[in-house]
Chains A and B, each alone.
Chain A
């Protein structure tokens, strides 16, 4: 494209090579924000374009938890457990998304040949990961929300609303911490080739168990549950259950404390993600398998 034509079609493009050294901080920031939104955009828009996903991602989790609801009902458990299961099932969508939509995404991108493009683009890799996280949060919230509404209606779950403020804050903090962890996974999984696939598989049921998706995590015992707290959903889900349902004395720690711990985890995982990304890029360049497919 001739230079004059480029300046007409891209009036806001900064006259620089795009790298941090070549641009002003403001231009570099703008580039990265664009990259972030661009990566998020495909996920947000994908939700609207492929509406059949909504069916699969709202009905499937409800089907999965329906079996556990019937287990509790066959045990004549208090009805609050039905609510615990429905909430856990809806929240499980976030964990699955972090594994498959965040952790494995660079691996999938490598398989489809897109990873090369991300790495030659003059933007921070964190912007790509941030966009993946932002888009994924929006996408998954639509689906998890649908599953929550559907499951609650199907099984007559009742919620309390007197702690709505802390519930919303706790939920957002948990999401940030969780997707920070997902950004760490994205780098680590990429280093492990085909093992990443199985690693993601391995982190499904064991985390459903350790994070207490279908029962109060307190049942695991304090220390096991506290160790499982490194997964933000463990304490996040426990806090949400305490804040959304009548107190059944099943909380591991007070909800406020759990939210505060997750805020710390959020900061920790975001820093870890930047470090892991740099490490992954270094190792991949040194070993020359950054774009090697089918390994």
Chain B
């Protein structure tokens, strides 16, 4: 479907103009329905619990196979927490990018969504919000499991909520921005399914020190790791929830400094990702790729 580039800007004017909040809300509602209404609530609850808990337990057994006392070490709490919060990356970043493929390839609804008044970015933002809600559910389950069954030192009264909230939001925004950029790439890519987003998620899992201190990474990789907002995000989350960080190479940074670096890197990332998305969208319109079905 080739779309005249002047057409979409025209649709945003006049009586058909849709408010951004309305589009975000509708996108979020749709994302939640797709994510949850495929089964009955009980099975959805089981599904929501099993996957994240299994992922957490893989780490538990990796620790247990090395040492029976390993679970009581402070390092395990940091590892478990990092892994738990990484669920947001899966749900938000991968979910947002996947929605393009899902709408275009499987449901064949993307053309209708695209020609609706209002910007596509707001729809994708709405889908990101739904992903964040499902991700929050996974994280809450994992943390509760860790506290109740693994004795993690997570105490609601000791969590620095005022610090946690902005750190958490900035990280989710960074994930959504990455998802937006990947969504743009999917607009113009023929096959490959979710391979790009899996590649990016895999890279982030390694580079951001999610399940180990970033100090253990090879020296040449560490600058790259420190340039990522997610490295600071994970470090900030650890400090907010456990009272201290994990990486000795980030120990010099105060909580305020971590928040500032996270904010700065997130802003740069959002701008870069938005530019990528808009560039890809323009190419997709010009080449008539918006409603291609590739049966990948």
Question: Which of A's residues lie within 8 Å of B, judged by CB?
Answer: 50, 52-53, 56, 59-60, 63-64, 66-68, 70-75, 77, 81, 108, 111-112, 194-195, 197-198, 201-202, 204-206, 208-210, 212-216, 219-220, 250, 294
Contacts and interface: CB of A to CB of B under 8 A. Distances in A.
CB-based closest 9 A-B pairs: A63-B202, A206-B54, A205-B54, A56-B195, A74-B212, A219-B65, A209-B54, A205-B55, A194-B38
17 contacts: A60-B199, A67-B211, A70-B212, A70-B216, A71-B211, A73-B216, A74-B212, A198-B38, A202-B47, A205-B58, A206-B54, A208-B58, A213-B58, A215-B65, A219-B64, A219-B65, A250-B65
Given A63-B206, A205-B50, A206-B54, 7 more contacts: A52-B192, A53-B195, A67-B210, A202-B47, A209-B58, A219-B64, A294-B107
Interface of B: 38-39, 47, 50-52, 54-55, 57-59, 61-67, 70, 75, 79, 106-107, 191-192, 195, 198-199, 202-203, 205-206, 210-213, 216-217, 295
Contact of A74 (B57, B195, B216): B216
Nearest to A217: B61
Contact of B38 (A81, A197, A215): A197
Contacts of A52: 192
B257 to A, nearest CB: 25
A56 B62 contact: no
A71 B47 contact: no
Contacts of A250: 65
A75 B61 CA distance: 13
A63 B205 contact: yes
Contacts of B57: 209
A81 B75 CA distance: 19
A95 to B, nearest CB: 13
B202 A71 contact: no
What's the dominant secondary structure at chain A's contact region?
A: helix
Contacts of B199: 56, 59-60, 63
B239 to A, nearest CB: 19
Nearest to B215: A74
Contacts of A67: 205-206, 210-212
B51 A205 contact: yes
A71 B38 contact: no
Given A67-B210, A72-B66, A197-B38, A112 B295 contact: yes
Which among A71, A212, A250 has the highest number of chain B CB atoms within 10 Å?
Answer: A71
A16 to B, nearest CB: 32
B104 to A, nearest CB: 12
A75 B70 contact: yes
A70 B67 CA distance: 16
A184 to B, nearest CB: 20
A71 B198 contact: no
Contacts of A111: 106
Nearest to A216: B65
Nearest to A220: B61
Given A202-B50, A206-B51, A209-B57, A74 B66 contact: no
Nearest to B214: A70
B39 A195 contact: yes
A214 B62 contact: yes
Contact of A70 (B75, B202, B206): B206
A71 B65 contact: no
B82 to A, nearest CB: 10
A215 B198 contact: no
Nearest to A113: B295
B70 to A, nearest CB: 7
A153 B199 CA distance: 20
Contact of B198 (A60, A73, A202, A213): A60
Contacts of B203: 63
A56 B50 contact: no
Given A67-B205, A71-B79, A214-B58, A201 B51 contact: yes
Contact of A64 (B51, B59, B205, B217): B205
Contacts of A198: 38-39, 47
A53 B195 CA distance: 9
Contacts of A60: 195, 198-199, 202
Given A60-B199, A209-B61, A215-B62, A66 B206 contact: yes
A56 B33 CA distance: 31
B212 A215 contact: no
A197 B101 CA distance: 14
Contacts of B79: 71
Contacts of A66: 206
A109 to B, nearest CB: 9
Nearest to B47: A202
A283 to B, nearest CB: 18
A102 to B, nearest CB: 16
A160 B51 CA distance: 35
A73 B206 CA distance: 13
Nearest to A112: B295
A76 B59 CA distance: 15
A197 B35 CA distance: 11
